[in-house]
Every structure is written in C-alpha cells, then in structure tokens.
Chain A
Amino acid sequence: MAVIPVSRQPLTLLERTYLPQIAGGLKTTLKHFFSPKDTMEYPEERPAIPAGYRGVPTLVFDPHGREKCVSCQLCEFVCPPKAIRITPGAITPDDPAAHVEKRPQEFEIDMLRCIYCGLCQEVCPEEAIFLQTQYSTTGHTRADFVNNKQKLYELGGTLPDAHFKWDKKKAAEEGGNAH
C-alpha cells in the first residue's frame, strides 16, 4: 500500500484568529437564509408517487363496472401477516355478472397487520387487487384501520383490463365451446 506523506502546515496568523473562517461561514449561512426552502409543507403539498409504488392494497372494478374479485381466497392464503379476511358469496342467476364464478360477500384488510409486501397483488389470478398510490392511513380506533369491501372499492376505483376473461368464457360457452 502506497504511503502518501501529508505535510501539515502550521496555521497562519490570520487563520489562528479564526476570523476568515468565521466570515466564510457567515457567508454560507446567509446564502442559505435567502435560498428557497427545501421543506415540503405536507398536507397541502404531496410528494410525487413513483411508478411501481406499493401503497394500500385496494380492490378494483373492470371497465364494465364488474367487480373483478371472485373471492378465490388465494390472497387470503398467501398473505404473510394474515391481514386479509374474505367471506365468499354467491352471485344470483339474474345478476348481469351471473356468468362469473363468485364474488366476495365481505372483504376486509386489516391495515394494522398489512406489511405492504404486494404478494396479494402478485398471486391474484383475476388482477383484482392492486397496491396503488394511497400511502396514508389514519384512524382513531383499531376498527378504523380495517378496510371493508366498500372502502376497498372506493380506494381502488376502476383499472383498465386487457383480458375480459369472464366475457370471453361466456361467449365461448354460448358458441358451444366449454372452454
């Protein structure tokens, strides 16, 4: 290893008075005094959320307004902290979405348990659950932190769908093809 000898110069008389350094420091702080402030004033200003951000898990509708979740409960099973609780429910035959398997009767995500890992989104075969940009969860009681089905759909809204798989399935059945 190369050794670089560094000669330490003794301080000059001016440096020993501290004054040039003090003046330099005062100049720096004065510059910051007038410079624009870095603080983001939070509730009024919001941070820009980057793409791929994992916020609060939400349920989404497809562009036709059908709720995409079929309550297969894969997310409930995969959820590491067991934050999801699904009560499956049947769809009545006169429902426009009657060709779909099931729908959740109740869907609860306990945000005090959720670790925002995104496994529910990854595992979902219906592309029904997404971790979106919502990052702030507040409440006064433990119950306030449990997002029920209605709240989850409110947060989720409608996302575009590339497949419309249940409609295709219905069309295929009507055309005589079971699959």
Chain B
Amino acid sequence: MDFSFYFNFPLWVRLPLQGLAVILVLFPLAAACSMAERKISAWMQNRPGPNRTIAPIIAWIPGMGILQRLGIFQLAADGGKFTFKEDPVPGHVNKFYFILAPIIAMIPALTTVAVVPFGAYISSAGQLTPVILADVDVGLLAVFAVSSLGVYSVILAGWASNSKYPFLGSVRASAQLISYELSMTLSVLPVFLWINTPGSHGTLNLFDVVAMQSGVGLRWDSVWFGFTMPVSAFIFLVALFAETNRQPFDMPESEADLVGGFHTEYGAFKWSLFFVAEYCHMIVGSGVFVLLFLGGWNPLPGLPLHLLAGWLHLAGTPLLMGALGIAIFLGKVAAFIFFFMWVRWTLPRFRYDQVMNIGWKKLLPLAIANLIFYALAIALIQK
C-alpha cells in the first residue's frame, strides 16, 4: 500500500486529521472504560453486571448474545441517555462558568495525548520512528503542564455551582492536586537523569525514554525502569491515583460526605463530559506510566518491538509494525486501567487529613530521598 498521497497533503490538513483520529479512538475508549468499570465492579461483588441491553434488530444476528452478556450495548444506551435526557441548569449558578467547566475539563484531557507516543515503526530511512501526534522535546513536561490544567475545570465547576458541597469538593481537589503534583514530578526525575547521559542531546521526550528500555537480550538498557527504579514507579503510581482523583483518593467526589463533590449540581451531558474527562486522564496517565516504567510498546524486557516485528516479518511494513506496537501498548494500558478499577473496588476512601498526611509527610520526603539516592547512583555509574 502506498500512502504517499497522504503525506503530500499540507500540514494543516494532516495534523487535524490525525488529531481527530486519535480523539475518535480515545473518546470511545474512555466511554468503554465506564462500561468496564461497571462490569468489573459487578464481578468483584459477585454480580453479573449489566447484561440485558440489546437493540431488537441486532439481537437477530447470531453470536450477539456474548456481546450482550458483556454489556457492550449498555454503553450505547448509557450514551444515548446522557445525550438526550433533560440537561437542567440550576437557577442559582453562574451560568457562563457553569457551562464552561465541563468544556474545560475535556480540553486538557484530550490535549495531553498529543505528546504521548503509542507505538513505533521503522521508517523508510531505516530509523525507529514514534507513532505520535506531536514529537516534541518537552514531552513529559507538556503532559504535566497540560494535565494539571484539568483542576481548573474542577475549581470552576465547584465555584460556579454556588453551593457548599461542590465548593468544598473543588477546594479539596485543588489542594490534593497541588500536593501530589510535587511528588509526581520528583518521582520521574531519576528516569530523566538516567536517560540524559552526559554529553547526549538533552530530552524530556517519552519516545527517548522507551528507546532506553529497548535493549536486546540481557543488557543493562533492556531492563524496564519499573524494575531499576521501583520506588519511583511506586510514588508515580500513588500520585497518579491522586491526580486522576481515583479511589482511594477521590476527595473531590466523596459521595459519602460531599453528596457528589464538584459535580453535585451537574447532570446529563455536562456530567458525562466530566466523567469521560476523568477516564481520558486515566488512560493518558496509564499510558505515561507504561512508557516511563513498563517499557512502552516493547513486549518483554530484553525483547523490544523491532526484534519481535523482525521475527514476524513486519519490520518492512510500517503500517503493520505500527499497529503491532499500538496493540502491545494499548494492551498494557488496558491492564493498567484494570488495576485502577481493581483498586477502586477494593479500597475505601482515605480521610482528607490522611490524604494530606500521606502527600506531604510521607510521599514527598520519600520522593526527595529517592531523587537524591538515584542522583548519586547515576552520577557514580555514568561518570
């Protein structure tokens, strides 16, 4: 197949098309996560979960029963419900910011994915090239910068709702995000200290992080960073739970004490936007974790993607090799999303003071100690 006609399009046509393609995958994926959440929570509670919904016409197709049991069509029913039900705006809210908040929630959620590579292929020049929307050097910094903008939507929603529970929820959310952002950033520094070897071209690019975990066989650079830097991975993981407002850190929502937290006053489509944004953050966050600590699209430590593609004779076809890389990457992300949900349906919520204690008194000192340890170790190894 020849795709050269596509590359002859001007950049302003190609980039929106690619961006649209990614969003068209990410958005349904985030929606599918809500279904997965319902099914996983059900199975963990010894229930079958939603398994009845099916459209009458589809029910005639044989084999659809399995999809029905898995609740696939419930997804469409949920989506239809959120789209078409009445979308009230309470009288006491600040209308402009009230409507703006869910839109702002979506923007960072869908933007961060631009700098996250999902796979790699061997280009015609024989070079390993990332499958990515914007291959920029700031990489991870852009993810952190944009994803932390997500808290603005929570603050706006809580404030514009003009009601005490949403307000408390958004105040908690902002405090929590600031507290855990520090540990998160400090926890990834050892990774970048390691990949920016002396004399090399400085980078924060996530593709370069994976390239440093792509060694073949029993070599130092074939070990994933999750194994060499377990404490970093652990701190990043905990902070990721806090940043995506997942249990046991879902302070902004806390149904038990804050009704619904920042989205108490929201309903229908606007509420579902918050919901999808949360799952988008989870997917992108899991993706970043996989890239940083679990070898990205490499199937196994010591068995990088280009080796596997070579064995399967896919290395010559960029399209297939890219698809293979994306499949492996998405598989890891899916496993990670499952872990998110597994934890959510296992643990109770931390109390707010416990969240602050863990963030400031435990995680932050641990992250600093971890950074100092790895800075010294890396200085000794790479001198």
Contacts and interface: CB of A to CB of B under 8 A. Distances in A.
Contacts, number: 36
B347 A32 contact: no
Interface residues of A, number: 15
Contacts of B346: 22, 25-26, 28-29
B382 to A, nearest CB: 31
Interface in B170-221: none
In the A-B complex, the 9 residue pairs with the closest CB atoms: A25-B346, A29-B346, A38-B46, A29-B44, A33-B43, A37-B48, A33-B44, A39-B47, A32-B44
Contacts of B46: 32, 35-39
Interface in A2-60: 22, 25-26, 28-30, 32-39, 41
B342 interface: yes
Interface residues of B, number: 12
A35 B42 CA distance: 12
Nearest to B339: A26
Interface string B339-383: 000110111000000000000000000000000000000000000
A26 B43 contact: no
11 contacts: A22-B343, A25-B346, A26-B342, A29-B345, A33-B44, A34-B43, A37-B43, A37-B46, A38-B47, A39-B46, A41-B48
Contacts of A36: 46
B4 interface: no
B45 interface: yes
B22 interface: no
B268 interface: no
A32 B44 CA distance: 5
A32 B42 CA distance: 10
Interface of B: 40, 43-48, 342-343, 345-347
Identify whether the interface residues of A are mostly helix, strand, loop, or mixed.
helix
Contacts of A41: 48
Contacts of A25: 346-347
Interface centre among B43, B46, B342, B346, by most chain A C-beta atoms within 10 angstroms, is B346
Contacts of A22: 343, 346-347
B342 A32 contact: no
Contacts of A30: 44, 342
Contacts of A38: 46-47
A38 B40 CA distance: 15
A102 B43 CA distance: 59
Interface string A126-169: 00000000000000000000000000000000000000000000
